[in-house]
Structure 1
Amino acid sequence: GVALTPEREIVRIGVQPSKVRPATYVQLADLLGIDTASLRERVSAAQPDWFVSVIDLRTPAYERLRAELLKVPGITIDTAQRALAPTAEWGRAILGTVAPATAETLGSAGPYALATDEVGDSGLQFAYQERLAGTPGITIELVEKARDDNVLNEVLSRRPTPGQPLPTSLHLGAQDAAERAVSEATETTSAVVVKASTGEILAAANAPGPTSYNTAFIGRYAPGSTFKAVSAAALLTNDLVTTGTTVQCPDTTVVGGKRFKNYDPGITSGQPTFAQAFAASCNTTLVGYADELTGDQLAATAEDFGFEAAWDLGLPAFSGSVPADADLVTRAADMIGQGKVESSPLMMAMVAAAIDSGVSRTPTLLPGLLPGSRLRELDPAIVEELQQMMRLVVTDGTGKAIDLPGVPVHAKTGTAEYLDGDRIRTNAWMIGYRGDIAFAVLIENGTSGSRDAAPIVSSLLANLPDDLYR
């Protein structure tokens, strides 16, 4: 495999306790944004001439701060090599970070870690600290002070054992493409890339960064109209529609006394087929079937796609929630990815992967340790119809902006409303697949999937290595 975190040069910023002054903490907090309370505790516990670590910086970051750092009382500078990703943002929420030990991280670092050590602080670095760190060597000797050659006996000697690498499913080129796609984000944004035929996670980028919060895995959001891929499958499976069924797509409709509307008026003309209404992302068409589709039927179809499955990725992750709602209004909202339906970006990428491959799976991040599993084979006829409708989204519907040359793109856009105080806001979504690559993109406070998610998807797909599509 390819090393995602090869050894790179870093600059270690530390302080010497005997030279620390009150101004030291103030200046370091201003320059580096560090937790000075933790630093004070470690300085107090250290010997006067020890090196107490403050932070490790990549060389370019250090050079920008060098002049100001050297003015800080008690500052000590050292250089070292550390296994690092290409940038501070690159895969950070998954790969994790290393930092001076805290009470929490030390408790999970194993019996050989000391309070003065740097240990895994987040992500895989935290979850697999003992495996990655190895064990230190130790030598205990009996000595006599009065003698020049004072070693009388070696009581104990144990050789150090190096840490073990941790193989992941992440692909260097795919993660590069995902990071580039979200690099200009100003709102919370996630992009996930999955190998559809295996469920292996090839990339997961979170922005703005650097951020250790893994929105891609643990974010809980209404998936909006991207969930219509599941609702459509439920309607097709239960023989309530065919792709060619003539349907209605009024600008607004009332279900159980609640008014539902489409994102824009006049999104279809005449009497569209169900496939055309899906491509136009017609909310009123879908909710119109809420009195014919039961909550149990919708929840069962969601389960077929992997919702609420047990996942073990080595990191926390959310496989979504689709309750079997008996209430008509809630069920109507559920069918368009609102109501009580929740998902993570990773779960919606797995929905797209299931439609692409015809098989639902649990995702895989650590193939050697925690391989994912095959859940169930989906009805081939239903899969083919979903594939056709998702292609129609791109050629004639809300996803036209990602109709790229080459391998055909299949997609579903989404806009999900949520209440922020007394104000209704929206998140933008897009899911889909191209070749053997499935993807999901989420943008908090985006206006629509077609407007805000599409440019990110276009960048992502355009920059993925060509061999991944096969």
Structure 2
Amino acid sequence: MGRGVKVAVIGGVFAVMVGGAGYGTYNVVSALNGDGGSGPAGASVKSGPPSGDEVEETAEKFFTAWEKGDAATAASHTNNAAVAGTLLTAYGDEAHITGVRITPGEATGTAVPFTVKAKVSYEGATKPLTYKSELTVVRGQTTGRALVDWRPSVVHPDLKDGDTLVTEESATPQIQAVGRDGAVLTKEKYPSLGPVLATLREKYGDKAGGTPGVELVIRHGSDGGPDTPLLTLAQGEPGRLETTLSAGVQAAAERAVKRYGESSVVAVEPSTGEVLAVANNRADGFNAAFQGRVAPGSTMKIITAAMLIDNGVTTMNGPAPCPDTATWQSQTFKNLTGMAPDEGATLANTFMRSCNTGFIKLIDEEPLTDASLTAEAEERFGLGRDDWQTGIVSFDGKVPAVSGPDRAAGAIGQGQVQMNPLNMASVTATAITGEFRQPYLVSPDLDGRRLATAKGVPQSTAAQLKQMMRLTATQGTGAAAMSGLGGDIGAKTGSAEVDGQTTSNSWFTGFRGDVAAAAMTEAGGHGGDAAGPIVADVLRAGG
């Protein structure tokens, strides 16, 4: 810093004292935005992207202060000093990370990759910590200073807004989750199980018989879920937690969702309701397989078909004409492009071809009302009552009673209907057995949970639904995806249009033997295009 300029900290705010011997003029650097103040009178404010020299110099100043544990100075080189200072202070004080050494890589434009090597020490235990991250240098909007563009991921790549770092004795003991065959389930072997295992630990860690250890964790905001462990300093004794997962089916599900981005899949055992696999391949890490709330498209026609049969409107071999269009209360619905109309179609034919108009033409038949689809979903399939107790957080579907165009849209899985793969795997399980068995991941015997109940569908209805799904898997829209699968198989495809997306979400649900599975791929197109192959892979492993 040039002669005649000194820095002081006043109430946590940097003040740059400018001038001669009197140091009479103060320039306050805002601790709120880190943008640096107005600069000397008459000085021009720089604009445009930072130069290579500015990028290097800014990164170097930030790294040097960070290495020294000087959170305030490091934060002053960012464009959000208050938030940056809080996290950088926690890095040393709450996370107990010291001995920081940062090695910058070669800058690409204004982006600087770097490697952090440090150690974490707590109550006599010390472990090394190494990871890679990246920062970007930007031009301050008001001052023209080159500043680090603040993101929590600068401090650690797994940090998001509202997160902080903490090292302490674990709030709950670790668990050793095991599958139904006794295989140990870890996030290293089954990556998409990471959030599920963290939730199981938070809920059952103190019930599984383990003792806590000492860990460096990411502590999320109030609604961000359980802590995410980063480093174990002292091992506790993990408690053994038995789950319903099948290691073989889970492995297949993990591989299957990797085929398509933003995909989720669930497999259940229809005879018991036990969850065999849950896998997600999503950039946001969200467990959409259990917690998603999106339109299920034509997979919903399983429930709609059950409603038509149970209310005596038609049967599998009864009439369900499939015209080019169907109008319901001023809204016109169409079929997929290229689908030939069939005025003499049966419900089985309309189902296996996934004809939208055939279902919509029947929903105003006596004795159906605005509430009929809701009643079918809630009373027979156990959906939409907010009472599932799976062992982790889950959403059990939504099929509201509505009038107007949304009543017709709901019959084909659009409008206000919301589902996720867990719900649709359960729907298939109920459809083919006639019994609703609430899916669960951990036995209710462990914590006394009461599983949800519903009366299921009559066996005559189940037999018709199962046969229509068999036809769909062998002769209809699901045949290509299910090709090559032996045994007793069935399927239903779906594509759900979503506002703002040019390509529909791909849905598929199916069964093989005593395994039912459902998948969804965002913007995956037709049901058989993306979700279909995922389900087929899972059924191949578990059927």
Determine the structure 1 residue equivalent to 2:332: 259
Q: Distance in 2 between matches of 1:393 and 1:360?
A: 22
Alignment of 1:444-463 (within 5 A): 444-462=522-540
SS at match of 2:304: helix
Instruction: Give deviations 1:320-342, integer Å, cap 9, x for gaps.
Output: 111122x2422111111111111
Q: Does 1:364 align with 2:443?
A: no
Q: Does 1:286 align with 2:359?
A: yes
Counterpart selection for 2:394 from 287, 294, 317:
317
Q: Does 1:436 align with 2:486?
A: no
Q: Which of the pair is proportionally richer in helix? A: 1
Q: Decide which moves more: 364-373 or 236-245.
A: 364-373
SS at match of 1:439: strand
Q: Distance in 2 between matches of 1:47 and 1:253?
A: 62
Contact 1:91/1:175 (8 A) holds in 2: no
Displacement of 1:289 after TM fit? Answer: 1.3
Q: Does 1:85 align with 2:187?
A: yes
Shift of the 275–216 alpha-carbon distance from structure 1 to 2, 3 Å rule, reads same
Displacement of 1:313 after TM fit? Answer: 2.6
Q: Does 1:183 align with 2:258?
A: yes
Gaps of 5+ in 1: 1-14, 30-34, 55-66, 99-111, 130-135, 137-159
Q: Does 1:419 align with 2:492?
A: no
Displacement of 1:177 after TM fit? Answer: 0.4
Determine the structure 1 residue equivalent to 2:61: none
Contact 1:182/1:189 (8 A) holds in 2: yes
Q: Does 1:351 align with 2:427?
A: yes
Aligned residue identity for 1:322 = V
Determine the structure 2 residue equivalent to 1:40: 88
Question: Over aligned residues, Cα RMSD in angstroms?
Answer: 4.0
Aligned residue identity for 1:42 = A
Alignment of 1:194-209 (within 5 A): 194-208=268-282
Q: Distance in 2 between matches of 1:204 and 1:363?
A: 12
Q: Distance in 1 between matches of 2:98 and 2:304?
A: 62
Q: Distance in 2 between matches of 1:448 and 1:39?
A: 45
Counterpart selection for 1:94 from 183, 196, 207:
196
SS at match of 1:227: helix
Q: Distance in 1 between matches of 2:384 and 2:280?
A: 23
Determine the structure 1 residue equivalent to 2:293: 220
Shift of the 115–294 alpha-carbon distance from structure 1 to 2, 3 Å rule, reads same
Q: Decide which moves more: 239-248 or 225-234.
A: 239-248
Displacement of 1:318 after TM fit? Answer: 0.8
Alignment of 1:122-271 (within 5 A): 162-186=237-261, 188-208=262-282, 212-267=285-340, 269=342, 271=344
Gaps of 5+ in 2: 1-63, 103-112, 121-126, 131-173, 177-185, 201-210, 229-233
**TM-score normalised to structure 2 length:** 0.62
Q: Distance in 1 between matches of 2:395 and 2:459?
A: 27
**TM-score normalised to structure 1 length:** 0.71
Contact 1:352/1:432 (8 A) holds in 2: yes
Q: Decide which moves more: 374-383 or 227-236.
A: 374-383
Shift of the 265–242 alpha-carbon distance from structure 1 to 2, 3 Å rule, reads same
Instruction: Give deviations 1:275-316, integer Å, cap 9, x for gaps.
Output: 111100000000001222212221111111011130123322
Displacement of 1:409 after TM fit? Answer: 1.6
Shift of the 312–78 alpha-carbon distance from structure 1 to 2, 3 Å rule, reads same
Shift of the 44–383 alpha-carbon distance from structure 1 to 2, 3 Å rule, reads same
Instruction: Give deviations 1:106-156, integer Å, cap 9, x for gaps.
Output: xxxxxx99998537869xx96599xxxxxx9xxxxxxxxxxxxxxxxxxxx
Q: Does 1:396 align with 2:470?
A: no
Shift of the 16–372 alpha-carbon distance from structure 1 to 2, 3 Å rule, reads farther
Contact 1:16/1:75 (8 A) holds in 2: no
Contact 1:18/1:74 (8 A) holds in 2: no
Length, aligned pairs only: 383
Shift of the 176–37 alpha-carbon distance from structure 1 to 2, 3 Å rule, reads farther
Larger Rg belongs to: 2
Contact 1:290/1:328 (8 A) holds in 2: no
Displacement of 1:192 after TM fit? Answer: 0.6
Displacement of 1:436 after TM fit? Answer: 0.8
